[in-house]
Amino acid sequence: MRVLHILNHTRRLNGHVHAAVDLACAQIKLGHQVYLASEGGDFDTLLKAKGIETLFIGHERKIPSLLRALSRLSSYIKKYDIDIVHAHMMTSAVIAFPVCKLRRVPLITTVHNEFEKSATLMGLGTRVIAVSDVVGASMRRRGVPQSKLKVVLNGTIGSSRSEGRSEEPKPLRSPSILFVGGLHPRKGLPDLFDAFETVHRSFPTAHLYIVGDGPFREEYKARAAALESASQITFVGSTRDPYPYMLGADIFVLPSHADPAPLVLSEAREAGCAVIGSSVDGIPQLLEDGEAGLLVPPRDPAALARMLGHLLEAPERIADWRQKSQFRIEHLTIERVARETLEVYYSAMPRGKAVPLAT
């Protein structure tokens, strides 16, 4: 099968980009011909090394740019005899929809950020992939018929992005609590600060590490600096690979207010962390509804503090939840994601059109 992925760019530190790059590389491994069209970015070198041809399509939301994008996409579909176009963001879907209609090529869309109002436009796809059950339910409420909707839960284990990464744990001060994510309100980091301040009074040697960057970095640093526990909080900043921090951490915490299916939970579980996540959106599904990680209500620092204290007061509990993090871990592989996505492609193909099956 000849697949063309289209997304805004291929820059790091964007969950939808990581998911699309992982999927494209996994499809190549399964024997398919894969192309990726975007404005380019950090992952173009990796894509080329894996045999994925990168193509340019501008995504600037201005009429002349969009018209050029329509023309360019149409020429790519014709030149490479594309069987499936897979769009990963709203602008990509809007660009691809009329061209796919004209060329009679199925358009697959993946809803990565369901919390955005524009996610409704992902319903333009011939088939719509939701990255968790909660996202699928949300898209049904927005009017996407069940017949064109399919849930393919995110997973990262075995991805090409992880090849060659360091397996050496970072030497973190134990007991260590780790957050990895963007520094913006949706991730709920202020709740973690408040919970850690409470925990610090009973466990003054506990240390909190914040890995990531974002528009609220300075505000969050100032907030942390005003706490009694400030000396026990370290802002690591942005890093190309947070996995060594996960390997070195005792407890991984994701206190999100909204998170459709965060890839970071797959990575934290692969690293063997004891995981605490807020019971919102796709987080419970990624933690096997509490069997592979502990769940707390979102926006509830007191509940998060109690859960952290529950683990910190008995190190054997941390060890127990480290082991539990491996429950059904094989379900979070990128190969499973690729195979389920290919099944969606086949279901969208016109009847009578033969395509090679995955190897």
309-333 residue pLDDT tens: 999 999 999 999 999 999 999 999 9
Mean pLDDT to the nearest integer, 19-30: 98
Q: Is the pLDDT of residue 358 over 60?
A: no
Query: Based on the domain organization, do 125 and 191 belong to the same domain?
Result: no
Which amino acid is present at 64?
A: P
Query: Based on the domain organization, do 77 and 110 belong to the same domain?
Result: yes
Mean pLDDT to the nearest integer, 102-117: 93
pLDDT band at 351 (very low <50, low <70, confident <90, very high): confident
Cα–Cα distance, 183 to 212 (Å, whole number):
7
Query: Based on the domain organization, do 148 and 197 belong to the same domain?
Result: no
Query: Based on the domain organization, do 61 and 198 belong to the same domain?
Result: no
Structure pTM?
0.94
pLDDT value of position 116 = 83
- Residue 60, token pair as written in the block: 């600037």
Query: Based on the domain organization, do 13 and 43 belong to the same domain?
Result: yes
Mean pLDDT to the nearest integer, 206-233: 98
161 domain residue, yes or no = no
Cα–Cα distance, 245 to 179 (Å, whole number):
10
User: 236 near 257, Cβ under 8 Å?
Assistant: no
Q: Residue 77 belongs to what domain range?
A: 2-155+333-348
* Widest CA span in the chain: 68
170 domain residue, yes or no = no
Mean pLDDT to the nearest integer, 340-352: 92
Give residue-wise pLDDT tens across range 118-138: 899 999 999 999 999 999 999
160 domain residue, yes or no = no
308 domain residue, yes or no = yes
Angle formed by the axes of helices 301-312 and 315-324, nearest 10°: 100
Query: Based on the domain organization, do 117 and 133 belong to the same domain?
Result: yes
Mean pLDDT to the nearest integer, 16-27: 97
Share of the chain above pLDDT 70, in %: 98
Query: Based on the domain organization, do 23 and 85 belong to the same domain?
Result: yes
75 domain residue, yes or no = yes
Go through 138-160 and write b for each residue having 16 or more CB atoms within 10 A of its CB, e for each that does not: bbeeeebeeebbbbbbbbbbbbb
Measure CA 85 to chain center.
20
CATH number at residue 89: 3.40.50.2000
Give residue-wise pLDDT tens across range 281-320: 999 999 999 999 999 999 999 999 999 999 999 999 999 9
pLDDT value of position 256 = 98
Query: Based on the domain organization, do 116 and 132 belong to the same domain?
Result: yes
Give residue-wise pLDDT tens across range 32-80: 999 999 999 999 999 999 999 999 999 988 999 999 999 999 999 999 9
Report helix, strand or coil for 233.
Answer: strand
Mean pLDDT to the nearest integer, 176-190: 97
β-bridge pairing 107-111 and 233-237: unpaired
354 domain residue, yes or no = no
Q: How many Cβ atoms from other residues are within 10 Å of residue 285's Cβ? A: 18
Query: Based on the domain organization, do 316 and 184 belong to the same domain?
Result: yes
- What rounded mean pLDDT belongs to the chain? 95
Q: Is the pLDDT of residue 357 over 60?
A: no
Give residue-wise pLDDT tens across range 202-211: 999 999 999 9
Residue 113 Cα distances to 103, 105, 109, 241, 282, angstroms: 28, 25, 12, 22, 11
The total domain count for the chain is 2
